[in-house]
Structure 1
């Protein structure tokens, strides 16, 4: 089986990957996006592509036909891929990001979130590439917000611990790396379950049944297009001022909401009723522990002139319109 790209021909054989460079001169802006099949990865891929970078996205279970297949746990395949493509920038979006799944599958989650990240950092360093590692606000316990980049982490669950360890191994193995911590994300999902934000929409739409909504944990839902823009701006600034960009950065939406408030905002965005949504103000019991308020201080990036924020009601309307059950009857309202 062969994968094709304008500048790469990638042949997959049992046990190894063969990457053949075509007779093409590579442009001077090359980006490799891991996890390009995921919610954030797709947005990052589009951002670089729309800004005339030569970008290759790779994925695993959903890679074909749009993206290149790459098993990040296969160290030799990763090495060959990076050596042949010679990226200037690698944005590492691939991760197991679901806290409950991480708790239930700790070994596989650790291999992806930590071991694969360490290996990718080594290959980025060898290639002289700028690596952006996507991390999480869950590295903090949420008891004393807002959190700066130099605040002391204290993750409450295994997901946060693996992301924190991923940060450490990336920075240890690649001097030319940056960590970008972000909170809960939403955007153009392929299915509602793809985001912990958009998954609430069915409960919002079906108002004939009451729905309990958490009104305890404080979240800052963040649009993936805004995070993608931050990754792009960091990369552009890195190319211009190499010594300036490194270390840890934070980016986040600035609208503080519980899941109940998120659901009400969705209802408002689509002119739907919200009286069936019920506030649950008690701290969840028995679930994977989550930080109460892991708000991120984003002033470090803001002072660099980096970042953009899309109002939640604008971003969520753009994201959820395809999933609106009554969208045909409502088109005259919104269009």
Structure 2
């Protein structure tokens, strides 16, 4: 039986991967994360792990000896990375070098999550071999981690994704959909930007993409996201329409009204041809994603 170790297993993608593999039953999962386990009970093993500790990473990987490691752990708060570059470097770059060295020792295949933010947003949507130009410390740290992997000589895949949305059972993770829904239900007036464009990604789709890479041991860079190019304002309106909420509470604004430490790319989005061809990846539409969220919220 294949053994897969997941870092960041308490996060949104981490929990979706643990759940996906638990349903499949043909893989033994070692779920790792900081602090107590937040996943639903299942047949996996949970182990606390701080990926910034080289000793902990080596000890854990050598002990469990996984065939595949999926690294979903990261510091993803873009403005926080700008304000605390030291932590950003430690979690997003140095921790990846610890994982690479440990995977080298036990010959594990490493799947690493990266981001659309490595691009400057001038020419989106992007394919895998387009030239990166990071605009923020977060983006630069993720690009640096990609370079570490490419230069490492280990078997690996880099999965770039963006704006991941979904629901976890304990509601410990928020995202734009849940924020819009909650705000409108509470009759709050919200300002949402119309001058940034993304292809938002349902967490379940991203988990399936990662699992397909693990199954095939597919090496290289893959763009894995949703297929609909939308602005946050478009997403907010679609969310209001889908859940029957008052969209008059949503004010359309441009990004200049917000003071944010980190610069965001204007228009990213991904061309998914490679993932479709090599992984059989087929994402749902944004509307289908909203339907999945609605059905999950009914069971929370």
| TM-score between both structures, scaled by the size of structure 2 | 0.90
- How many residues are matched? 291
Q: 1:241 — aligned with what?
A: none
| TM-score between both structures, scaled by the size of structure 1 | 0.81
Q: Distance in 2 between matches of 1:309 and 1:249?
A: 14
Q: Which has the larger radius of gyration?
A: 1
Q: Distance in 2 between matches of 1:270 and 1:120?
A: 42
Q: 1:265 — aligned with what?
A: 238
Q: Distance in 1 between matches of 2:36 and 2:229?
A: 33
Question: Please, which runs of 5 or more residues in structure 2 have no aligned partner?
Answer: none
Q: 2:182 — aligned with what?
A: 202
Question: Aligned to 2:246, what secondary structure does the other structure show?
Answer: coil
- Whose RCO is larger (CA < 8 A, sep 6+)? 2
State the shift of 1:323 in Å: 6.2
Q: Distance in 1 between matches of 2:297 and 2:20?
A: 24
Residues 322 and 304 of structure 1: is their aligned pair in 2 closer, same or farther, counting only changes over 3 Å?
closer
Q: 1:146 — aligned with what?
A: 125
Q: 2:12–2:173: 8 Å Cα contact kept in structure 1?
A: no
State the shift of 1:113 in Å: 0.4
Q: Deviations over 1:231-281 (max 9, x none)?
A: 11111112xxxxxx2121101101111111111111111122212211113
Q: Distance in 2 between matches of 1:75 and 1:269?
A: 46
State the shift of 1:197 in Å: 4.2
Residues 111 and 175 of structure 1: is their aligned pair in 2 closer, same or farther, counting only changes over 3 Å?
same
Residues 321 and 205 of structure 1: is their aligned pair in 2 closer, same or farther, counting only changes over 3 Å?
farther
Q: 1:184–1:221: 8 Å Cα contact kept in structure 2?
A: yes
Question: Please, which runs of 5 or more residues in structure 1 have no aligned partner?
Answer: 1-26, 239-244, 328-335
Q: 1:56 — aligned with what?
A: 30
Match of 1:171 among 150, 168, 183: 150
Q: Distance in 1 between matches of 2:102 and 2:176?
A: 32
Question: Aligned to 2:151, what secondary structure does the other structure show?
Answer: helix
Q: 1:82 — aligned with what?
A: 61
Alignment of 1:71-110 (within 5 A): 71-110=50-89
Question: Aligned to 1:286, what secondary structure does the other structure show?
Answer: coil
Q: Deviations over 1:47-86 (max 9, x none)?
A: 2222220001000034378631011122122112111211
CA RMSD of aligned residues (A): 2.1
**Structure 2 residue 153 is the aligned partner of structure 1 residue 160:** no
State the shift of 1:305 in Å: 4.3
State the shift of 1:219 in Å: 1.8
Q: Deviations over 1:149-188 (max 9, x none)?
A: 1111001111111111111112222420110000110111
